[in-house]
């Protein structure tokens, strides 16, 4: 399993205009657990206003993506919409 820690840098608290930056990568059977284990400390390291703006997410990546699953992701910008 491959897990990427993603940092969403957002312009405002609505999180509708965010840039996504990969921060770290883990591989192995316990990759997700390793990523989740560091989230509390990283979140505490953010200032209170930044905790409302930014978000850290552990995302599991497919090991062998099929051609239909291959998606070209934007290098810098990402829109995130919440209902």
The pLDDT value recorded for residue 4 is: 94
pLDDT tens-digit map of 17-72? 889 999 999 999 999 999 999 999 998 999 988 888 888 999 998 776 555 444 44
By CB neighbour count within 10 A (0-12 exposed, 13-18 middle, 19+ buried), where does 78 fall?
middle
Q: What does the pLDDT read at residue 26?
A: 94
| Helices and strands counted in the chain (H then E) | 2, 3
CA distances from 15 to 35, 60, 66 (A): 22, 21, 30
- Angle 34-11-44 (CA atoms, 0-180°, nearest 5)? 35
């Amino acid at each position: 399993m491959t897990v990427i820690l993603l940092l969403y840098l957002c312009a405002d608290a609505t999180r509708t205009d965010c840039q996504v930056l990969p921060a770290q990568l883990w591989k192995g059977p316990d990759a997700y657990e390793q990523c989740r284990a560091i989230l509390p400390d990283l979140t505490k390291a953010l200032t209170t206003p930044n905790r409302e703006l930014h978000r850290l997410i552990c995302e599991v990546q497919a090991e062998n993506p099929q051609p239909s699953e291959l998606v070209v992701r934007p290098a810098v910008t990402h829109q995130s919409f919440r209902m």
